[in-house]
Amino acid sequence: MNASTANRLTPYLFLAPAGVILLGALIYPIGYVIYASFLDWNPSQRIGEAAFVGLKNYKKLLGDGAFRESLWVTLKFAAVVVSAEMVLGVGLALLLDRKMRGMSILRTLFILPMMIAPIVVGLMWRYMYHPTIGIFNRTLVSLGFEPVPWLSDANWAFAAVVIADIWQWTPFIFILSLAALQSLPRSALEAARIDGATGWQTILYIKLPLMLPVLIVTMLLRLIDAFKVLEVILVMTNGGPGLATEILSLRINRTASEFRALGEAAAMSNILLMVLMSLTLAMFLYTKAMEARARAMRSQNDEEA
């Protein structure tokens, strides 16, 4: 081996330990889950004793109405909460991005929900949604309205978990949006005022486009989290009534612990993983494509010039 090859290989040598750890910590568990999804495996067996069944678990899932329902609930839940949280979080950030007395206290208050343990959040909302002693129904009744079957009606239960999630996670988007807003170039915003932009126009044409990279990442993080939400819904409805709020992670949990079908649960989480991966990939490809298009347009213009 001559000196130049040695030189080229040196960085890899130094990277190797980190690479091994990455492989062990990241790839091994994922590989384990993927492998497990091809097995007919119940918790009393060691993994070596489980029978290899190929794609049977996946085939079964695709034909399983309950799983499809659960996947649909998950997609619906993620789409609804993330959209609502983005609108509310970004809106609040736009509203509160100003210098005023007490603003820092207000901001701190806003992020409190995020810091509460999810189990506690679930319990809290369950009590608030309680049909007779919960704050919502007591208020409604005292105002002369009919009480609402918050957690016992399928539609209301879905709305109830959505509301709880929005309450807990809007602050996340709020903080990141606020940080993005506060790092916007001040003078560009002033230039927009001079150029005649109204407050709305500044938001629409300057602030939001400049925040977009941060917003995309924020949304992705929230989306990934929303697909995996478990504790709050577990405590509030445990997936009920019926399958109305049985999101995928609840179903995975039940499949593994109640139905004792580990292979099937693994297959489910792989499907969830694939959904998330394709989402991330799509986002990634979209930004790449936008960049490439901008570059292509430029080089074309350079030729003309």
Partner 1 sequence: MPEIRIENLRKAYGEHAVIEGLNLEMADGEFTVLVGPSGCGKSTTLRMIAGLESCSGGAILIDGRDVTHLEPKERGLAMVFQDYALYPHMNVAKNMSFALRLARYPAAEIDKRVREVARTLDLTPYLDRKPGELSGGQRQRVAMGRALVRDAGTFLFDEPLSNLDAKLRGHMRAELALMSRRIRKNMIYVTHDQVEAMTLGDRIVVMRHGKIMQAGSPEELYRRPANRFVAGFIGSPTMNFLKADLVAEGDRVVAVGQGFRFPFAAERSAALRSFVGRAVDVGIRPSGFIASEAPDALQLPVILSEYLGAQSIIISELGGARIAIEVNAPQPLTVGGTRGFEVAADGIHLFDSKTENAL
Give residues in contact with partner 1 (CB under 8 A): 185, 187-188, 190-197, 201, 205-206, 209-210, 212, 294, 297-298, 301-302, 305
CB of 190: closest distance to partner 1 in angstroms?
Answer: 5
Q: Which is nearer to partner 1, 10 or 183 (CB)?
A: 183
Q: Determine the distance from the C-alpha atom of residue 157 to the mean position of all C-alpha atoms in its chain, rounded to a whole number.
A: 20
CB of 179: closest distance to partner 1 in angstroms?
Answer: 17
Cα maximum dimension of the chain? 88
The rounded distance, in Å, linking the Cα atoms of 111 and 133 is 27
Q: Which is nearer to partner 1, 24 or 209 (CB)?
A: 209
Q: Which is nearer to partner 1, 143 or 294 (CB)?
A: 294
CB of 199: closest distance to partner 1 in angstroms?
Answer: 10
Q: Which is nearer to partner 1, 76 or 193 (CB)?
A: 193
CB 192 within 8 A of CB 200: no
Q: Computed over its alpha carbons, how large is the radius of gyration of the chain?
A: 25
Q: Which is nearer to partner 1, 15 or 290 (CB)?
A: 290
CB of 100: closest distance to partner 1 in angstroms?
Answer: 15
Taking the C-alpha atoms of 295, 298, 303 and 305 in order, what is their torsion angle to the nearest 10 degrees? -160
| Strand partners of residue 228 | none
The rounded distance, in Å, linking the Cα atoms of 285 and 58 is 28
CB 31 within 8 A of CB 254: no
